[in-house]
Amino acid sequence: MQWLSLKDARSLTNNYLEEASDLINGLEGGWLDCEEQEWILEEIGGPPIPSLPIYLISCKTHESETLVYVGKTKNTSRFSGGHAAALKLHELKYAGMEKFVYRATAWFYLDDEYIALDWIEPEAIALDLLDSIESQLIFYLQPELNTSKKKKNCTRWDFGIHIQNFLEGGFLNDTFL
């Protein structure tokens, strides 16, 4: 799988914002008029795609789909040497099940605006938020292959999470934690 790391996504976003700022002589004020939006889209295109630093692994039988692992990744090499959860999925009890990896990003809703995890400054806060999201998902969903963060909610910040899955079947879609 090709992963866009949180660090790489942040870098691409910052480069995009610098290029857009240079094009329209500054991004101060927090909003763009329609002409500026069109100009940016014409000259440099749309913003970079967000990182997908959260992953959920599930197993599916004919009757149901079950979450078995939640993880996070900050870099592109997370799976290059294999993954312990993937190895556990070779156990006999998972034989014959379909396995899925869902990749996700986080958006925060604040003051009627959506803010991508990739945009949060400084990076240390973005990484803390990523860890809090992973911790909450593990604590509340209790995936069987996770070994830590299940007995205690290890979040630094506890906030509501709304899972949205727009794929066919919509596993965990509209789940609220």
Q: Note down pLDDT in tens along the chain; length 177 residues.
A: 567 778 888 999 999 999 999 999 888 877 788 999 999 999 999 998 888 899 999 999 988 999 999 999 876 655 555 578 888 999 999 999 999 999 999 999 989 888 999 989 899 999 999 999 999 999 999 999 999 999 999 888 888 999 999 888 899 999 999
- Residue environment code for 32-67, b if the CB has 16+ CB neighbours within 10 A, otherwise e: eeeeeeeebeeeeeebbebbbbbbbbbbeeeeeeeb
* Residue 84 CB coordination number (10 Å): 11
Q: Could you tell me how many residues make up the chain?
A: 177
What distance in Å separates the CA atoms of residue 36 and residue 42, rounded to the nearest whole number? 10
Fill in the amino acid letter for 80: S
pLDDT at 31: 79
The pTM (predicted TM-score) of the whole model is 0.85
